[in-house]
Amino acid sequence: MRARDAGAAGFLSAFAVAALVGARHLAVGTMRVPGPGFFPLVLASALLLVALALLVQALRAPRPARDAAAPVSAPAARLRPALTLVALVGYVFLMEPAGFTLATAALLAVLFTIVAPSRWPLALGGSVVAAGAVYVVFRLWLRVQLPAGPWGF
């Protein structure tokens, strides 16, 4: 059994079941006059079949001795995507109350230091300059709509 593949297939199967339940709540109609639920029902059923086939395939596959093909990354490296995501989620909710430029400078400072923590003074300076440059290019030049915040920038 391959636990990773089985887990992914199991998740897909659960999604397909949820989709099937959701589609059943819509008017399916008939073959002559298919309703809004017709296509989703067909798709969810097909997805469930394929997901179950993937599950069976994963369960029947021999367990790999040690997955040599998948390189195991260091714990610090594995932490980087998670930290980046947390910073991005924080940024999204900070953008409107704090304004684009300030929030962007904060985001960039955090992201710059995630990979090279020892060079934080440079990261701080670089993030302020970069946030200002991005504001000039996107807001003032390309006239892209960006959250203004209490300071207007």
Partner 1 sequence: MELLQNVAFGFSVVLQPANLLACFAGVFVGTLVGVLPGIGPVATMSILFPATYAMSPTASIIMMAGIYYGAMYGGSTTSILVNIPGEAASVVTCLDGYQMARRGRAGPALGIAAFGSFIAGTLSVAGIMLMAPPLARIALDFGPPEIFTLLLLGFTMITYLSSGSKLKAAAMALLGFFLGTVGLDPITASPRFTLGTVTLTDGIGLVPMIMGLFGISEVLLNLEQGADHEVFTARIAGLLPTREDWARSLGPIGRGSVLGFLLGILPGIGSIIPTFISYALEKRVSRHPERFGTGAIEGVAGPEAANNAATGGAMIPLLTLGIAPNVVMAVLLGAFLVHGVQPGPLMIKEHPEIFWGVVASMYVGNAMLLVLNLPLIGLWVQLLRVPYAVLFPLILLFCVIGVYSISGNTWDVVLMLVFGVVGYLMRKFGYEPAPLVLAYVLGRLAEESIRQSLLLSRGDLSILLSRPLAAMFLVAALVIAIAPLVRPALRRLRSAS
For partner 1, what does the binding mask look like between residues 23 and 42, x meaning CB under 8 A? Answer: ---xx--xxxxxxxxxxx--
Q: Which of 10, 28, 124, 138 binds partner 1 (CB under 8 A)?
A: 138
Q: What is the DSSP string of 9-63?
A: HHHHHHHHHHHHHHHHTS--B-SSSB-TTHHHHHHHHHHHHHHHHHHHHHHHSPP
Distance CA 6, CA 99 (A): 44
Distance CA 38, CA 32 (A): 11
Q: Which of 3, 14, 88, 136 binds partner 1 (CB under 8 A)?
A: 88
Q: Which of 10, 28, 90, 91 binds partner 1 (CB under 8 A)?
A: 91
74, 93 contact by CB (below 8 A): no
N residues, the chain = 153
Binding site for partner 1 (CB under 8 A): 4-5, 8, 12, 15, 19, 22, 26-27, 30-40, 43-44, 46-47, 50-51, 53-54, 57, 71, 73, 77-78, 80-81, 84-85, 88-89, 91-93, 95-96, 104, 107-108, 111-112, 114-116, 126-127, 130, 134, 138, 142-147
